Structure formats: C-alpha cells, structure tokens
Amino acid sequence: MTNTKKVAIVTGANRGIGLETCRQLNQLGIITILTSRDETKGKSALASFNEEDGNLLFHQLDVADLANVAQLKSFVIENFKRCDILVNNAGVFLDRGVSIFDLPEETLQETLEVNFLGALRMCQEFLPLMRDSGYGRIVNVSSGMGSISSMGGGSAAYKLSKLMVNGMTRIMAAEIKDEDIKINTMAPGWVRSDMGGSNAPRSLTQGADTIIWLATLPEDGPTGGFFEDHTPAIW
C-alpha cells in the first residue's frame, strides 16, 4: 500500500497526554498509530474515537521490550513503508518523593527502562525509516523535573530518566543535524492525568499542544531543543 499521508507513532497512548496527542494528530489528517502496552486498554482507547476512515490504528507496544519494538517496526514497514513522526510519550513515575538515599535499585532500573531506554530504542529502530524518506520529526516527552538547573531533592529515578532523555536528544540532534529530521524534547507542564493528578492546572489539550507543534515543525524549525509552551525551556 502506498500513501502520501504522514504516519505518526505515539507511545503510551492508551490514556493521558499520549491519547490526547493521538486525537490532535488524527485531526490534522495524519495516520496515527496509537500504541499501548496493554492490548485491551489500547483497543478501548481507540474505540473511544468513533473514527472510521482508517487513519487511526492501534498496535500493541511495550517500550521496555526490544522484540516488541521490532514487531511494531515490521508492522509499520509492511503497511506504510514510512514513519514521519515519533512521539516518545510513554512514562512511569515510580519514586515520587522518595529520597535518593532510599531509592531501590530496581525502581531506578524500571524507570530508566521505560522513560529513557524505551525512547532510545524507539529512536534507534525508527530513525532508519525516517532517513529512507528524508523526513522525520521526533518529540521526546520529558519534564520540567528533568531540568538540571532547578533540580532539587527527591524523585531521583524520574528526574534522572528525564535528564537522560534531554541529553539523548542533544546527542541525536547533533548526529543528524544535516538531515530534515528534527528531534526535540519538551515539558508538558503539570497536567491533569493519572500521573499528574486531578489538582494539576493544565488540561490534556494544553499538555499536548507543544508536542503537536514539534511533531509538525517546518523544515526551518528548531532541532536539539528543550521546549515548554513553544518556547525554549531551561535545561
């Protein structure tokens, strides 16, 4: 099947900011692959859209499982032969308020496995497809908590995982700077989701807004940046 429509992949999209990102990408006419590690949750998220033109699809994906990432890549190659947009949104926050001196090593490993290595794996697998078509937009969903200049105590696993995502973004951007493949990292702000809780001031729409902007940047748009509300954030 050949198509000229752009194809986007969103990780951790069965709820929260990822699901909202799928909704907004789909509204722009972009073929959007909503992925979820849990098939039942992913399919029910997809069903919530009542979308029938085939532009929104589900595929199971646990970003902590390299074989699973490779399966998604095979699916994308077979069906679309391209990947234009990758939103690395899947995330866990397992050590809220825990002191670094009490942080269990397994918690740190589990957090890095999803938040950092998951995003790294996805970039490594899908960059070749972007290179084939000469176009790509990668958005890494980080956090203000990954900003080293304002980093305080507690929640070290989560903060370090986002700091690594930010560093990875810089390194990758430097390595692909001469191609029309842009990679940026962003902070959605404090958003009402399962992770953010009900007291958060921002809606899911606001949380996804900068993701959509970075996912659809023009050729002269920025790369290797860290953004919040469309403006540079402090590293």
DSSP for residue 113: I
Residue position matching structure tokens 């390299």: 66
Q: Contact at 8 Å (CB) between 63 and 122? A: yes
Based on the residue annotation, tell me whether 135 is a catalytic residue of this protein: no
The residue number whose beta carbon is nearest to ligand NAP equals 16
Q: Is 126 left (phi over 0), alpha (psi -120 to 50) or beta?
A: alpha
Residue 140 CB, nearest approach to ligand NAP (Å): 9
Binding site for ligand NAP (CB under 6 A): 11-12, 14-18, 37-38, 41, 61-64, 89-92, 114, 118, 141, 143, 187-188, 190-191, 193-196, 200
When the beta carbons of 118 and 225 are compared against ligand NAP, the nearer one is 118
Q: Contact at 8 Å (CB) between 16 and 92? A: no
Residue position matching structure tokens 């996805």: 122
Residue 117 CB, nearest approach to ligand NAP (Å): 10
When the beta carbons of 133 and 195 are compared against ligand NAP, the nearer one is 195
- Catalytic-labelled residue, pool 158, 190, 226, 227: 158
Residue 2 CB, nearest approach to ligand NAP (Å): 29
Q: Please say whether the dihedral angle defined by the alpha carbons of residues 221, 227, 229 and 233, taken in this order, is positive or negative.
A: negative
When the beta carbons of 16 and 225 are compared against ligand NAP, the nearer one is 16
Residue position matching structure tokens 């789909």: 26
When the beta carbons of 181 and 187 are compared against ligand NAP, the nearer one is 187
Distance, CA of 58 to CA of 11 (rounded, Å): 11
Active site amino acids: 158
